[in-house]
Chains A and B, each alone.
Chain A
Amino acid sequence: MNYRFQQLCALSGIALVLLVFPLLLLMGFFPPPSPAEGSAAIAAHYQSKSSWIFLLGGAVCVQMSAPGVMWSAAISVQLRHIEQNEPPIFSLTNIACGVVAFSVFTFACAGWVICAFRPERAPEIIQTMNDWSFIVFLGTVTPLMGQALTIGLAIFSDRSDEPVFPRWAGFLNCWAVLIFLPAGLIPFFKTGPFAWHGFFGLWLPVLVFGGWMLVMSVLVLRAIRKQKMAADLTSQLAD
């Protein structure tokens, strides 16, 4: 069986978090420049540090769609175990939302790369690109909410004696949906806790997102290990 590759996919979720978060920190995005700042101040943000930090950070982040999609696939395989012979609506919704969520994330990163690619250009253009990046990065939150909700509902529907995921993980996913929600409202604010540099717009959703990805990766790894042990046992008994 392909357990090794499943494990690799689950691990790629952990790798993504461990790569992306330090890079965002390095690029000075915790917190990012306020949306209320003028174009000159935004442009200065990209010119102040050596632009290679943004180029390098953005260039790495922009490649993160594949690990993200692999991670989503590893979860979908587990949702497939929950569905058994039912129509695979949970696993399909999860992987489709995952593809969209992580592609959209790379579009946001591409914006940061573009800002840093020619930092000498007109400040208004840099500001526009910076707006694009943050609104795409945080504002397009429904694919992630869709993923968390799908996983949550799938866990609740798991009626087997040995559930694939613990039931508390179902509640965790539903809670994550609520936490992600305010990020989708950042277009309406330039100041305050709901703006893209605020507590409910950035910190809470992004940090919970990281934690959620790590927890789900670990749970998937555990589920794979259990399935592998069960399969080994069956094959031993067959010998």
Chain B
Amino acid sequence: MTKNVPIKRLPGEEGVWGFVFGDMVMFTMFFATLLFYRYENGALFAQSQSLLNQNYGAMNTLLLLTSSWFVALGVFQYRKGKTQTGARLLIPAFACGVGFVGIKFLEFGEKIAAGITLNSNEFFTLYYMFTGIHLLHVLVGLGVLFFLWRVARGAPDGSATQTLESGGIFWHMVDLLWIVLFPLIYLI
């Protein structure tokens, strides 16, 4: 009798985990910077925070979470062999990401129209820079999702599964970073 030993395997390729770690180290420094400046100047931060539109932030959180869910479903279907279903599930994931970018532009536009810019005060410097750098990650992530969609539609093979997993991991990281950034900037 051979025992059915489940084989443990790291999803994606090793390197992408290293990259995710490196990127999260950078964002951890962003978070620490936010906390440090708020400690130094709590009143200014509370007052500036009240000028933000939390609805935009919340909607974006919802969009990224939904998007991540679609990516996870897609990779799951792909691994089960339903490669075309997997590819199709990446389309709503992409659409949610585009929605995030759209809302972000709407939000930045409103702030700029209200005369709140990069150098208005310390809080808004950090607000624009950190959400801006995160937005850049979303844009890169959208490129990754498009690439994954093309890979998923192509001939299935082992390396394609790994590519899908690796790209998915990056997209989940972008989501995770926002989930920390959102409360730090908008809520607490």
Contact = CB atoms under 8 A, between A and B. Distances in A.
Contacts of A167: 13, 15
A192 B122 contact: yes
Given A170-B15, A188-B118, A199 B29 contact: yes
A167 to B, nearest CB: 5
Contacts of B22: 171-172, 175
B19 A175 contact: yes
Nearest to B32: A199
B23 interface: yes
Nearest to B14: A168
B33 interface: yes
B58 interface: no
B15 A189 contact: no
Given A181-B133, A192-B122, A171 B15 contact: yes
Contacts of A41: none
Contact count band on B: 10 to 19
A204 interface: yes
B104 to A, nearest CB: 18
A199 to B, nearest CB: 7
Interface in B96-137: 118-119, 122, 125-126, 129, 133, 136
B70 to A, nearest CB: 25
Contacts of B33: 193, 199-200
B125 A178 contact: no
A182 B128 CA distance: 12
Interface residues of A, number: 21
Contacts of B26: 178-179, 204
B119 A188 contact: yes
A174 interface: yes
Tell me the dominant secondary structure on chain A's binding face.
Answer: helix
B15 A194 contact: no
A185 B130 CA distance: 13
B61 to A, nearest CB: 23
Contacts of B19: 171, 174-175
Contacts of B119: 188-189
A168 B15 CA distance: 5
Contacts of A174: 19
A143 to B, nearest CB: 19
B18 interface: yes
A170 B29 CA distance: 23
B16 interface: yes
Interface in A161-201: 167-168, 170-172, 174-175, 178-179, 181-182, 185, 188-189, 191-194, 199-200
Contacts of A182: 129, 133
B23 A189 contact: no
A185 B122 CA distance: 16
B16 A171 contact: yes
Nearest to B125: A192
18 contacts: A167-B15, A171-B16, A171-B18, A171-B19, A175-B19, A175-B22, A178-B26, A181-B133, A182-B133, A188-B118, A189-B119, A192-B122, A192-B125, A193-B33, A193-B126, A194-B125, A200-B29, A200-B129
The 8 closest A-B pairs by CB, nearest first: A171-B19, A175-B22, A171-B15, A168-B15, A167-B15, A192-B125, A193-B33, A171-B18
Given A168-B14, A178-B23, A192-B126, 18 more contacts: A167-B15, A168-B15, A168-B18, A171-B19, A174-B19, A175-B22, A181-B133, A181-B136, A182-B133, A185-B129, A188-B118, A189-B125, A192-B122, A193-B33, A193-B126, A199-B29, A199-B33, A200-B33
